[in-house]
């Protein structure tokens, strides 16, 4: 399997609703419409907090999700497979994963764009609940081979080259004989330029809330291994760019919520904290661990610390500049194909 320059760095480990709901803070509850938009924005499927009644019907989902992908205009030639963890939050999925897929499809109109999810739990839930069928990676690769695709570019929506990215690379190696060329594109945060671009994108996305008394906290998933370094690295990138009101934390690793709270107190002067997921989708972690009403949610903990809180339930995939970065990575992978 051929990989582009940075995608070969596999020795990492996994850093593993289209509306913004205001969090009940010291100043009360506020609800505003969201602007249109782990490794992949991981969520845990099937939690009781998910609002099943708000989900679109299965037939509507089939129509909407199919619209994000192009028809195969070069059968037997080239295809792009966009691989995501997946989410059962339908509105967030369309505004994030679907939007990334659409951006890639529009950037390469003569090449078919396909979808695969890595979470079988999400795939099974969507099929049972909504009648929506989605390929897992093996099914997608088998289908591409059966359809006569000879050149395949795989673009993950992962944030980093962690466990899930490494698993994907290993799975692709098993299919080397099924295609003439397979290229695995870079995850979101790979090069220095990527970190600069993401820092710029996430700060511009929060600019409307900046009143001089507000801190901005992005909640990532986190992982126990080396690829978790993307979070402190992004924090340092923000600091070097002068964004000292921005704080990066994780749900399952470090920096933890306790670290973020300590940093907020050390900085001082903040009355409000705006929370947003540093994940591709706004799924279970965003809706529950970040914005939930449980006493250990990030919103609740910060409320107890005396901060007014506001939650932006929008995944990174809703930010146009983030989608463009995935497009750039896909283009680099496409350009690396032997002519």
Lowest mean pLDDT among 115-119, 120-124, 159-163, 235-239: 159-163
Q: How far, in Å, CA of 7 to CA of 185, rounded?
A: 6
Model confidence over 28-63: pLDDT tens digits? 333 333 333 344 454 444 443 343 334 444 444 444
DSSP 298-325: HHHHHHHTT-EEEE----GGGSHHHHHH
Lowest mean pLDDT among 27-31, 95-99, 195-199: 27-31
Q: How far, in Å, CA of 215 to CA of 309, rounded?
A: 10
Peptide bond into 193 cis (omega under 30): no
Exposure on the CB side of residue 254, measured as CA atoms within 13 A: 7
| Long-range CB contacts for residues 135-142, cutoff 8 Å, separation at least 24 | 137/83, 137/168, 137/171, 138/171, 140/81, 140/83, 140/114, 140/115, 140/116, 141/81, 141/171, 141/172, 141/175, 141/178
Q: How far, in Å, CA of 228 to CA of 189, rounded?
A: 11
Q: How far, in Å, CA of 125 to CA of 142, rounded?
A: 22
Mean pLDDT, the chain, whole residue set: 84
| Token digits of residue 137 | 């990676």
Q: What is the pLDDT of residue 300?
A: 98
- Looking at residue 52, the DSSP 8-state letter turns out to be G
Fold designation for 195-317:
Rossmann fold (3.40.50)
User: Within the chain, which residue ranges are assigned CATH 3.40.50.1400?
Assistant: 38-44+56-188+319-336, 195-317
Catalytic one among 158, 221, 285, 329? Answer: 221
Is 221 marked active-site? yes
The CATH architecture one would assign to domain 38-44+56-188+319-336 is 3-Layer(aba) Sandwich (3.40)
Model confidence over 244-296: pLDDT tens digits? 999 999 999 999 999 999 999 999 999 999 999 999 999 999 999 999 999 99
Backbone angles phi, psi at 313, to 5 degrees: -90, 70
């Amino acid at each position: 399997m051929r990989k582009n320059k940075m995608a070969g760095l596999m020795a990492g480990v996994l850093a593993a609703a289209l509306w913004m709901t205001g969090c009940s803070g010291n100043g009360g509850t506020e609800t505003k419409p969201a602007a249109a938009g782990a490794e992949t924005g991981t969520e845990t499927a099937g939690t009781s907090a998910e609002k099943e009644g708000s989900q679109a019907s299965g037939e509507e989902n089939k129509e909407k999700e199919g619209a994000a992908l192009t028809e195969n205009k070069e059968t037997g030639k080239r295809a792009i497979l966009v691989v995501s963890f997946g989410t059962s939050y339908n509105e967030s999925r369309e505004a994030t994963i679907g939007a990334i897929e659409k951006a890639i499809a529009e950037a390469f109109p003569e090449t078919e764009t396909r979808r695969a999810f890595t979470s079988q739990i999400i795939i099974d839930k969507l099929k049972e609940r909504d009648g929506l069928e989605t390929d897992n990676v093996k099914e997608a690769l088998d289908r591409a081979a059966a359809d006569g695709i000879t050149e395949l570019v795989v673009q993950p929506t992962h944030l980093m080259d962690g466990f899930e990215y490494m698993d994907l690379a290993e799975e692709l190696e098993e299919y080397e004989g099924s295609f003439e060329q397979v290229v695995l594109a870079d995850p979101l945060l790979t090069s220095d330029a990527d970190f600069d671009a993401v820092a710029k994108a996430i700060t511009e996305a929060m600019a409307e809330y900046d009143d001089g008394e507000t801190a901005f906290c992005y909640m990532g998933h986190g992982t126990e291994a080396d690829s978790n370094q993307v979070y402190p690295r992004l924090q340092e990138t923000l600091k070097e760019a002068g964004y000292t009101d921005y704080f990066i934390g994780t749900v399952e690793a470090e920096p933890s919520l306790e670290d973020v709270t300590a940093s907020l107190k050390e900085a001082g002067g903040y009355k409000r904290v705006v929370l947003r997921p540093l994940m591709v989708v706004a799924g279970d972690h965003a809706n529950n661990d970040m914005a939930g009403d449980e006493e250990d949610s990030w919103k609740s903990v910060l409320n107890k610390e005396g901060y007014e809180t506001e939650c932006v339930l929008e995944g990174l995939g809703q930010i146009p500049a983030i989608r463009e970065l995935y497009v750039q990575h896909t283009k680099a992978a496409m350009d690396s194909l032997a002519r």
